[in-house]
Structure 1
Amino acid sequence: MRSIERIDGDVAECGVRQGRSTIFMLMSDLRPRQYHLFDSFAGLSEPTAEDRKRNGRTSWKSGDLINVDLYEPTRDALAFFYDRVCAHGLIICDDYGSALCPGARKAFDQFFENRPEGIIELPTGQAIVVKAS
């Protein structure tokens, strides 16, 4: 939250599950802003070929979890939010480095392949993109 304390704008979270990360953000956010929380609350969509691991299997099936761990929901969330993110705003993928979620990484890599932003991969498995403009 310190990274965005000087940036005007709202916060959107896709795949809120039980809302724990949102609660943390709300408690530490010093700026008045709105929080927009998105979730199907029906679990994951059907995994696609992009979600398969090297052994050809997927870690999830339709209805598992409450999140955006798969290729299509990650791709669609990026397509929806990218133009809405303000300059210097952050886009975070919490499953970027997870071996269970290869589709999320693939969607992120493909989406930012021809865009000016670079993907910063954290050792904790997340990835951050700082919006250029």
Structure 2
Amino acid sequence: MQAAECGVYRGHSLVACLRIARDLRVPVNFIGLDSFAGLPSLVEEDLKVAPENAPYRNKVLFDDTSFEAVNELVTSAGFADRAKLIRGFFVDTLPTLPETRYDFVNIDCDLYAPHIECLEYFYPKMNAGGIIFFDDYHSRDFPMAKSAIDKFLEDKPETLLHLRFGPEGTNHTKCYIEKL
């Protein structure tokens, strides 16, 4: 099984996915993509919907990580042979990936342009029945994720499915599509 995570940050969800796959005896190889330097610059679509008091309007968020720290986490969890980390912004790194088909992609990249970049790259490379999972669709902090996902899916046959967990909260409903 081939999988990818777009927006690795500190690596905890990547390692969690690898543990679940191991526990279910699903052989998986993950590509983890992240700048490891924080979010890219906002684009016009972000500024249209971003809350006025959002901290990312004035400073870079998620820059409190590093490639080395995430690589150490993946290695110490015993998954060095199952995960390859790729450093850089998606616009630069996605075109360098080897051509392959994917069964699972986790998109957790907060902003408009990165969502579009990831969807344009991975959607046509998904196997039928493959899952694209969206972390930020219902996020009040990053409403541009919903804007990007809705825009991309408007002419696609897949249905966006919602998965709720935990108590009522700001981001306790996630979404996904199953590729037809």
Whichever residue aligns with residue 13 of structure 1, its letter is: E
**Partner residue of 2:12?**
20
Q: Which runs of 4+ in 1 moved over 3 A?
A: 52-56
2:50 and 2:4 mapped to 1: Cα distance?
34
2:140 and 2:48 mapped to 1: Cα distance?
8
Question: Structure 2 matches for 1:1-133, cutoff 5 A?
Answer: 9-29=1-21, 30-52=25-47, 57=52, 59=54, 60-61=56-57, 63-65=60-62, 68-123=109-164, 124-132=172-180
Q: In the superposition, relative to structure 1, how do residues 113 and 55 fare at CA in structure 2: closer, same or farther (>3 Å)?
A: closer
Gaps (5+ residues) in structure 1? 1-8
Q: Does the CA contact (< 8 Å) of 1:117 and 1:131 recur in 2?
A: yes
1:107 and 1:22 mapped to 2: Cα distance?
23
1:105 and 1:80 mapped to 2: Cα distance?
18
Q: Does the CA contact (< 8 Å) of 1:70 and 1:101 recur in 2?
A: yes
| Structure with greater helix share of residues | 2
Q: Does the CA contact (< 8 Å) of 2:49 and 2:144 recur in 1?
A: no
Task: Please give the secondary structure, in 2, of the residue aligned with 1:41.
Answer: coil
Task: Please give the secondary structure, in 1, of the residue aligned with 2:133.
Answer: strand
Task: Please give the secondary structure, in 2, of the residue aligned with 1:90.
Answer: strand
CA shift, 1:36, in A, is 0.5
When Rg is computed on C-alpha atoms for both structures, the one with the higher figure is 2
TM-score (norm 2): 0.63
Identity %: 34
CA shift, 1:122, in A, is 2.8
CA shift, 1:54, in A, is 5.4
The CA RMSD over aligned residues, in Å, is: 2.0
| Structure with greater strand share of residues | 2
Task: Please give the secondary structure, in 1, of the residue aligned with 2:177.
Answer: strand
